[in-house]
Structures are given as structure tokens and as C-alpha cells.
Structure 1
Amino acid sequence: MQKAVWRGLLTASVLIGLAGGALAQDRPRTDPVPRPLTLAALETTAQPAPTPAPASAAVPDEAQPIEDVAATSPPRDPAVGSVTGFPIPRYVSIKAAEANARRGPSRSHRIDWVFQRRNMPVMVVAEHGHWRRVIDRDGAGGWVHYTLLSGERTAIVEAERLTLHQRPDRASMVRAEAEQGVIGTLRQCRVDWCEMEVGGFRGWVEARGLWGVDPGESFD
């Protein structure tokens, strides 16, 4: 009787074990879901850009300092440009909407000033290669590449208000008035008067109210 009981228990345990194995095989596997990588970990850490050396410290071998150029060049007429043969000083105008004025006559020199007004009159005071040293009416400026300059004569109104006359005569008909700071194109000048075009108007103005023309200057 006791043996029969033990035999029954053994059979039951085997069946339970088989059933458990079957259940384990029938149950679907639940693999762990992979967690998404943290985006910040995939991003490259931003490094500060290296601070560039000052442009003035990097002077190319072929560019001589201005002092050396002056020392090695033969004597010349200071009133005539060594490159163009044009008078020094002389008036020109800014051709581009933006023109960098550098400390020296090369692109390796630092930018000291930026002209941001097209047709602004400036004065050429020196020449070196493809570069012209220019200043504005306030004395600000530097070395500008010649391609950014134009030979077209312009002038800026210095007077508080400047009258454009039909003829170079105060008694002639008034066509328009230009306020201080207005820039116009000079068509011709006759001693004390200049014919200027500005804002679609054209007339004669007194040269003493302009910056961009010398006293008594005449040209067509």
C-alpha cells in the first residue's frame, strides 16, 4: 500500500515537471526592450574655436612695412602718387556698399574701419601697390584696395542746408535744398560753384558748403 502511494507521488511530480516544461516552452520570450541612447551622449562636445592671432602680427614676407618701403624707394614728388601718377592728395569715392579700411596695405593687416555708405567721398593720401590710403571728412580711414574705389567725384553736404540753384548764381531759381550729410554726385565745378546731382535733382551749389572738393577747384 505504501509503495503504491510513493509510486503515485513520483508519477505526479514527473507529470508536473513535464507540464511546467511545456508551459515554459509555450510562454513567449520577453526579451528586454533596448533603451534609446541619450542624444547628448552622441553629440560631439563643442570646443571653443582657437583664438586667431592678431592680423597685424602676421605680415607676409613679400609685404614690406610702410617705413621700409619709404626708406628703399627713390626720392619722388610727394604730390604725385608713386603707383598711379595722379595727384596726392586727391578725392575719390567709395564704390562698394561696404569697404574695409586696414592698418596696412595688405589683407593680412587688421581692419580698423569699415565704410558702409556707397558713394562716400574720401581723400587719397598715399599709394602702395594695389592699395590706397584714404580718409573721410573726420580723418578716419586706412588702406583700401583700389577695386573698392571709384574716380567718380562725389561730395557730402557740410552746411546745415545747401540750396541747389538753376545757375551758379544766388539770384537764380531754387530747384531744391539738401540737408547736412546728404551725398551727391559732382558733375562739374567752377571755382566757387559745383553742379551737383542728388535725389533726382540737379543744380548748382556753393562749393564752400561741401566736403569733397578743394576751394577754387575747377573740373568738368
Structure 2
Amino acid sequence: MTTTHSFRRCMAALLAATLAAPLAAQDAAVTATTASFAAPVMGPETNLPLPRYVSLKAKEANVRRGPSLTHRIDWVFQRRDMPLQVVAEYGLWRRVIDREGQGGWVHYTMLSGSRTVIVDQDRLPLRTQPSDTAAERAELELNVIARLGDCDGDWCELTAGGYSGWAQRHVLWGVDPAD
């Protein structure tokens, strides 16, 4: 009787472990999936979302290899209002990338919260309303920098060269689908 009882207890434990393993794996997968839909990562210095878009405030800004004045300057951004994406923060420094994915560390005083975009399509129609059938107000050349206004679905309101109007979001760099 003792052997049969021990055998049953052992089989019950084995069955419980066999059934529990997939459930534990499923719980871990659900937790990982839920975490990916959790609140965005916030910058440790500004408590603003990372990544986020900003623009270059100065007409020139040194781009350094690390977050201090002692780090080597790799290049210099030379286009005022150029949109940049902040991907990290450390003290007074922001790690930024441009639309080609190039970047480095820039002092925060060189950046502005004003939103701009770069036009990624030559002769982009700037329309009076957010619609393909709306009248064209102007055409923007490739690489023009425009001030970003409100976005409505697939359309964003822009201001460039004294003109304001709407352009399709997918041909602009400096704005995400969720913005």
C-alpha cells in the first residue's frame, strides 16, 4: 500500500509539473507582451518620452562621441531647425540621430522643442485641406525644412517659405505615425 501511495503521489507531482511548465511560459509571454504595450520609456533627465523629435536651435552644433566636452567632435550639424530624434539622455547631453541615422551627443542648449520636418519627396504638394483632392497652395522641394503643426491621421499641417498647408505624413521625416 505504501508503494502504491508513493507512486500515485510521484505521478501527481509529475503531472502537475508537466502542466505547469507551459502555463508558466505562457504567463511569461503575456507579461513580455504586456510590457511592450506599457507606458513609453521616459528620459531620466527630462522625464520626456524617448525617442522623441526636436529641432536644432543653433546654426551650428558640435556632435560628440560621448556626453561631455572632453569627448571628440565627430562632426558639426550646420542646418538651423533641422529635425533630430533624441534617443538617449545623460546629464545636460542628448544623444540624437538625423534622418540618415547618423548622430552623437549634443548639449541640450543646442536643441529646441519646436517641431520641424524634412520633406522626403520632390515637388510635394502643400494642400489647403488634408485631402488628395484639395487645392494645391504650393509645392515643396526635396529636403525643405518645414515647421510642423497639427497632424490629422495621414496628414500634417506644415509651414514653409511663407506658405501653410497640409502634406501627407509618410513623405516627412521628423514625425511618427503615433504623433
Match of 1:164 in 2: 126
**What is the CA distance between 1:89 and its match in structure 2?**
0.4
Query: In structure 2, what is the Cα distance between the partners aligned to 1:100 and 1:78?
Result: 29
- The question of 1:180 aligning with 2:148 is answered no
Question: Equivalent residues in 2 for 1:1-220 (5 A)?
Answer: 79-217=41-179
**What is the CA distance between 1:105 and its match in structure 2?**
0.5
Structure 1 runs (4+) deviating above 3 angstroms are none
Distance 1:201 1:78, change over 3 A: closer
Amino acid in structure 2 at the alignment position of 1:163: P
1:14-54 per-position Cα deviation (integer Å, ceiling 9, x unaligned): xxxxxxxxxxxxxxxxxxxxxxxxxxxxxxxxxxxxxxxxx
Query: In structure 1, what is the Cα distance between the partners aligned to 2:91 and 2:113?
Result: 17
1:51-90 per-position Cα deviation (integer Å, ceiling 9, x unaligned): xxxxxxxxxxxxxxxxxxxxxxxxxx87210111111000
Query: In structure 2, what is the Cα distance between the partners aligned to 1:162 and 1:113?
Result: 30
**What is the CA distance between 1:194 and its match in structure 2?**
0.5
Instruction: State the TM-score, normalized to the length of structure 2.
Output: 0.76
5+ residue gaps in structure 1? 1-76
Q: CA RMSD in A?
A: 1.2
Amino acid in structure 2 at the alignment position of 1:130: L
For CA contacts below 8 A with separation 6 or more, give which structure has more relative contact order: 2
Distance 1:206 1:151, change over 3 A: same
Query: In structure 1, what is the Cα distance between the partners aligned to 2:144 and 2:88?
Result: 27
Aligned residues: 141
Instruction: State the structure with more CA Rg.
Output: 1
Match of 1:42 in 2: none
1:130-182 per-position Cα deviation (integer Å, ceiling 9, x unaligned): 00000000011110000000000000001223110001011111100001100
Secondary structure in structure 2 of the residue aligned to 1:172: coil
Instruction: State the TM-score, normalized to the length of structure 1.
Output: 0.62
Q: Which has the higher strand share?
A: 2
**What is the CA distance between 1:187 and its match in structure 2?**
1.4
Identity, in percent, stands at: 60
**What is the CA distance between 1:191 and its match in structure 2?**
2.0
Query: In structure 1, what is the Cα distance between the partners aligned to 2:120 and 2:70?
Result: 35
Query: In structure 2, what is the Cα distance between the partners aligned to 1:113 and 1:196?
Result: 29
Aligned residues of 1:190 and 1:216 also touching (Cα < 8 A): no
Query: In structure 2, what is the Cα distance between the partners aligned to 1:100 and 1:142?
Result: 9
